[in-house]
Amino acid sequence: MADRRLAIDQLTKRYGDTVALDGMTFDVRAGEIFGFVGSNGAGKTTTMRIALGVLAADSGEVRWDGTPVTLETRSRIGYMPEERGLYPRMRVGEQLEYLARLHGMDRPAAVRAAQEWTERLGVAARRGDEVQKLSLGNQQRVQLAAALVHDPEILVLDEPFSGLDPVAVDVMSEVLREKAAQGIPVIFSSHQLELVERLCDRVGIVRAGSMVACGTVDELRSGGEELLLVDAPGAPDGWAAGLPGVTVLPAQRGRTVLRLEEGADDQAVLAAALATGPVREFTRSRPSLTDLFRHVVSAEQTVGAGEGQQ
């Protein structure tokens, strides 16, 4: 059980001249929440659709627990498609029961599961309403219920948080944590990077159809450069210039921003700052996931420009 994983291995996919996936490779372990991020068109939806089996890769393989994903595995995946996939005129409860039964549940179990998930996700009062009469956020709650109602072994969710109010975000986060704690691999895509940073055990950043950075948020951040923010209000301009191993960057809100080389002595910087007068703030800072993401995206623009010249 401990080593079960959803392995995405060297996927490629083209749509005509567009390369959607170019050797996409990563895995999601049982019991972890994996955040899948990347700019628009980077290949997240294509990867998830291939993982689910609704789209075929040109090459590469998706395995669950060491075995290529089959129709049978597919029925054990809970999937939330980006384009959403509910029947607008069907009532919420009936729809969830129907989906549960499609996945092989008997009628009483399907009714029970539909009740449980609508209650859990705060849409129990809407069970008798047609899906199309619900607000978009509530439709999304029902869509998550649809992904969960058959008690899946794997969760693949395409932008499950987009458009949700903060309370629904909390409920959705809690459900994903609970599912991961039960040993289910959970992968979701999102552009809400603060949420991803908070919720995910590991994060993969995708660029132009392949994985360019993957790890825990701490691992990704430790690969980024470390900055030092110093607030020394009485210091003259240029006070930090010439300190060994230190590069002075543009100031931010009155604070001096310094980039330290590996092994540079921050205490020498502090002593130099104190020599100018009082020091109100002295903080080491790692880049946020948003900073790392921007870095990756700007690399993408450089790559794109290079490709255009070929």
Q: Which range in 33-41, 112-120, 223-231, 271-279 contacts ligand ATP by CB under 6 A? A: 33-41
The smaller minimum CB distance to ligand ATP, of residues 17 and 72, is found at: 17
CB neighbour list of residue 308: distance below 8 Å, 6 or more residues apart: none
Site string for ligand ATP, 62-101 (x = CB under 6 A): --------------------x-------------------
For ligand ATP, the closer of residues 118 and 140 by Cβ is 140
Whether 219 and 286 have beta carbons less than 8 Å apart is answered as no
How many Cβ atoms from other residues are within 10 Å of residue 69's Cβ? Answer: 21
**Of residues 1, 3, 17, 40, which one binds ligand ATP by CB under 6 A?**
40
Judged by CB under 6 A, the chain residues 8 through 27 that form the site for ligand ATP are 15, 18, 20
Please report how close the Cβ of residue 55 comes to ligand ATP at its closest, in angstroms: 9
* Single residue of 23, 41, 68, 223 touching ligand ATP by CB under 6 A: 41
Closest by CA position to 5, among listed 73, 64, 69? 64
Distance in angstroms (rounded) separating the CA atoms of residues 1 and 5: 9
Closest C-alpha to 287, from 227, 219, 202: 227
Is 309 near ligand ATP (CB under 6 A)?
no
- Cβ neighbors of 14 (< 8 A, separation 6 or more) are 20, 58
Instruction: Decide if residue 38 touches ligand ATP (CB under 6 A).
Output: yes
Give yes or no for residue 46 binding ligand ATP (CB under 6 A). Answer: yes
As a whole number of angstroms, the distance between CA 125 and CA 287 comes to 44
Residue choice 7, 11, 42, 114 for contact with ligand ATP (CB under 6 A): 42
